[in-house]
Chain A
Amino acid sequence: MYRQGSRLLMRATAADGARLRVTAGSRPASQAFSTEVTEAPAVDSSFLEAWKKAAPNIDPPKTPLAFMKPRPPTPSSIPSKLTLNFVLPYQSEISNKEVDMAIIPATTGQMGVLPGHVATIAELKPGVLSVHEGNEVTKYFVSSGFAFIHANSYADIVAVEAVSLDRIDPSLVQKGLADFTQKLNSAVTDLEKAEAQVGVEVHSALNAALTG
């Protein structure tokens, strides 16, 4: 199988290099965006032929690619719905749900994700995630995490902790905000300051979520 290794590498770079030279022109093949690279085929035909010649009576081994489900294709026209997956470490909140829009609390600000959104990876800050489906809006307060938006209008959001807004206790939020603001003023080392600032950031976001 390793004898085929160099052929596989060459094939991948050559094919993308030819395609990209026609379109972008400035980007070398090795720097293609992951969304532009064509998917590797699950079955390598020349490897199979070589195997059959070398060991015709033994079944050829399956490669990891053969076990993987194929990537859902990027449709040519923009789909009407966004397929959302929202998971936490201990449970799956939303699984393959078709929604109209999701507003995610990215570090760069509230980001609205509609079907046909450009492929993006966004780091989340503590804030409110709202999922819009028809006339209903479901809101979650997310502690932190990441959102992966794929070119085919699939979005995967992963968070460490997410709660619906009615489970948050406003008095604890106010108390926490006051505590951490005070700690921030009295902090000495860099690490203490950073921890206090994280506390202030999280509690202000919780406060804004409850009042906004």
Chain B
Amino acid sequence: MATAAGSSSAAVPFWRAAGMTYITYSNICASLVRGCLKEPYKSEAASREKVHFAVTKWVSGKPEKPTIRSDSPED
């Protein structure tokens, strides 16, 4: 973010002013709420936090070997 988000006259939320996007803010809120649940709901909810994707970089028109990125509270 090159320019400070508060440089225009519009009021920005505190997280936007600190450089956070809405999606990041929303995901943080959701994971905090999930962390305050009683069992067994908490373990059911933990599965929703998992992010799993494979990234393939392309160099000179050819794909390289894909790397698997798995982002979950356990890893």
Let me know if A66 is at the binding interface, CB within 8 A: no
Residues of chain B lying within 8 A (CB to CB) of residue A161: 29-30, 33-34, 45, 48
Interchain CA distance A168-B20 in the complex, whole Å: 27
Residues of chain B lying within 8 A (CB to CB) of residue A107: 13
Interchain CA distance A172-B38 in the complex, whole Å: 9
Interchain CA distance A145-B37 in the complex, whole Å: 19
Residues of B contacting A: mostly: helix
Let me know if B46 is at the binding interface, CB within 8 A: no
- Do B37 and A168 touch across chains, with their CB atoms under 8 A apart? yes
> Residue on B with the closest CB to A206?
B36
Residues of chain A lying within 8 A (CB to CB) of residue B32: 143, 176, 198-199, 202-203
> Which A residues fall within an 8 A CB radius of B?
89-90, 107, 126, 141, 143-145, 160-161, 163, 167-169, 172-173, 176, 190-191, 193-195, 197-199, 202-203, 206
> Which B residues fall within an 8 A CB radius of A?
13-15, 17-20, 25-30, 32-38, 41-42, 45, 48
Complex A-B: 30 CB contacts under 8 Å: A107-B13, A143-B26, A143-B32, A143-B33, A144-B26, A144-B29, A160-B29, A161-B30, A161-B33, A161-B34, A163-B37, A167-B37, A167-B41, A169-B36, A169-B42, A172-B36, A173-B36, A176-B35, A176-B36, A190-B17, A190-B18, A194-B15, A194-B18, A194-B20, A195-B20, A198-B25, A198-B29, A199-B32, A202-B29, A206-B36
